[in-house]
């Protein structure tokens, strides 16, 4: 059944939900998780497939048409392709995508494409094996690149995006190799500014390598041309002037895109978050398991979304980093 559109208190229509299917991850990236890892959720605390399907279906009835599956690392969730197939069949969803570190793509690429995932973002922070290990604390670059190649063999998986977190003192050396990578392969490389969501709490504004700085460095060698920004898009996209590939820049710190944000998030343990940097969450798991009707859940969701933040406050005095890190929120 169709329900009234989901709208926040600032008049923004919500059309996109990021669903974390697990808080577990097989990497220990410096910008996300401590080397020793984090305490994982107990199995029963994590939403079951049928619960995710129900909430996703309810959101779709309210006009949410895009779902991105995240983690942790979503591919470590047992039988994950089965969940993807369940969601691909939800009426009203026309965009099912995934963000993955790529470590298990060689194993799962075919199953994920067959399940109905249509867009893939693969996180790779360095194309050099030793520096990849430095950032992720895992010697996994060859396996990730094999997985990326396995995915690229499926025409229906394209366009494939490769995400790199931009950290000052590290990413400068990666900029031109990634530009060449985008020119030589059928991938759109996207640089994402380092955000204050690390569990180590070591984020500092001085560590943010801005998208403009990276773009200028690339443009000096490989001229770039701006592309029109799609409504609600997070990335500023540029094509190489000679037509050989594209780069994207996601600049939430230096160039916030809050004004037309249409996203909400569902954590692995069933908490609704209306902003990546929210300090408050709304529990959906408890009412879900206590017998709430869809109408009950709809009202809880609408009340939470109505309070969606106008903007994040990363660049303002008194900014408070969320208690959860990126892996626990869902990327």
On the question of pLDDT at 66 being above 90, the answer is yes
Q: What's the pLDDT at 201?
A: 73
Backbone angles phi, psi at 293, to 5 degrees: -80, 170
Please state, in angstroms and rounded to a whole number, the distance separating the CA atoms of residues 29 and 203: 13
- pLDDT tens-place string over residues 130-158: 999 999 999 999 999 999 999 999 999 99
By residue count, the chain amounts to 331
**Helix or strand (DSSP H, E) at 99:** strand 95-100
Task: Report the CATH fold assignment for 16-329.
Answer: TIM Barrel (3.20.20)
Q: What's the pLDDT at 36?
A: 84
Q: What's the pLDDT at 282?
A: 98
* Cα dihedral sign, 300-32-126-100: negative
Please state, in angstroms and rounded to a whole number, the distance separating the CA atoms of residues 261 and 203: 24
Q: What's the pLDDT at 28?
A: 92
Q: What's the pLDDT at 320?
A: 80
Range 209-218 average pLDDT: 97
- Yes or no: say if 196 and 254 are a contact pair by the CB < 8 Å rule: no
Q: What's the pLDDT at 35?
A: 82
Task: Name the residue ranges covered by the structural domains of the chain.
Answer: 16-329
The structure's pTM equals: 0.95
Q: What's the pLDDT at 168?
A: 96
Q: Does residue 279 or residue 110 have the better pLDDT?
A: 110
SS3 labels along 108-174: HHHHHHHHCCCEEEEECCCCCHHHHHHHHCCCCHHHHHHHHHHHHCCHHHCCEEEEEEEECCCHHHH
Q: What's the pLDDT at 161?
A: 97
For residue 69, CA distances in Å to 117, 133, 246, 278 come to 9, 25, 24, 19
Q: What's the pLDDT at 277?
A: 83
- pLDDT tens-place string over residues 234-288: 899 999 999 999 999 999 888 888 888 999 999 999 999 999 888 899 999 999 9
Task: Return the half-sphere exposure (C-beta side, CA atoms, 13 A cut-off) of residue 107.
Answer: 11
Please state, in angstroms and rounded to a whole number, the distance separating the CA atoms of residues 210 and 122: 21
Range 69-84 average pLDDT: 97
Please state, in angstroms and rounded to a whole number, the distance separating the CA atoms of residues 254 and 258: 12
Q: What's the pLDDT at 192?
A: 95
- Count of other CB atoms within 10 angstroms of residue 142: 10
Q: What's the pLDDT at 65?
A: 97
Helices 175-184 and 211-219 cross at an angle (nearest 10°) of: 70
The 3-state DSSP class for residue 222 equals coil
Please state, in angstroms and rounded to a whole number, the distance separating the CA atoms of residues 5 and 59: 9
| Percentage of residues in the chain having pLDDT higher than 90 | 79
Please state, in angstroms and rounded to a whole number, the distance separating the CA atoms of residues 173 and 126: 9
Q: What's the pLDDT at 117?
A: 97
Q: What's the pLDDT at 321?
A: 82
| Percentage of residues in the chain having pLDDT higher than 70 | 98
């Amino acid at each position: 059944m169709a329900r009234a559109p989901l709208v926040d208190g600032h008049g923004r229509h919500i059309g996109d939900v990021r669903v974390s299917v697990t808080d577990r991850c097989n990497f220990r990236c410096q910008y996300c998780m401590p080397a020793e890892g984090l305490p994982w959720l107990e199995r029963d605390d994590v939403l079951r497939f049928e619960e995710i399907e129900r909430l996703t279906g309810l959101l779709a009835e309210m006009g949410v048409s895009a779902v991105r599956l995240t983690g942790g690392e979503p591919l470590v969730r047992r039988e994950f392709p089965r969940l993807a197939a369940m969601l691909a069949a939800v009426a009203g969803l026309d965009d099912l995508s995934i963000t993955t570190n790529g470590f298990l793509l060689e194993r799962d690429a075919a199953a994920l494409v067959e399940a109905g995932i249509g867009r893939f973002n693969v996180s790779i922070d360095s194309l050099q094996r030793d520096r990849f290990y430095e950032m992720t604390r895992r010697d996994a670059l060859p396996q990730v690149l094999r997985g990326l190649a396995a995915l690229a063999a499926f025409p229906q998986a394209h366009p494939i995006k490769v995400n790199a977190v931009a950290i000052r003192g590290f990413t400068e050396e990666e900029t031109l190799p990634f530009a060449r990578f985008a020119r030589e392969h059928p991938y759109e490389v996207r640089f994402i500014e380092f955000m204050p969501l690390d569990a180590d709490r070591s984020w500092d504004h001085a560590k943010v390598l801005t998208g403009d700085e990276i773009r200028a460095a690339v443009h000096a060698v490989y001229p770039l041309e701006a592309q029109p920004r799609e409504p609600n898009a997070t990335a500023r996209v540029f094509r190489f002037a000679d037509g050989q590939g594209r780069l994207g820049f996601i600049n939430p710190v230096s160039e916030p895109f809050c004004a037309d944000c249409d996203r909400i998030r569902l954590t692995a343990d069933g908490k609704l978050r209306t902003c990546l940097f929210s300090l408050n969450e709304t529990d959906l798991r408890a009412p879900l398991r206590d017998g709430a009707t869809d109408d009950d859940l709809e009202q809880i969701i609408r009340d939470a979304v109505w309070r969606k933040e106008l903007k994040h406050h990363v660049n303002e005095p008194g900014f408070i980093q969320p208690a959860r890190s990126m892996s626990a929120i869902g990327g």
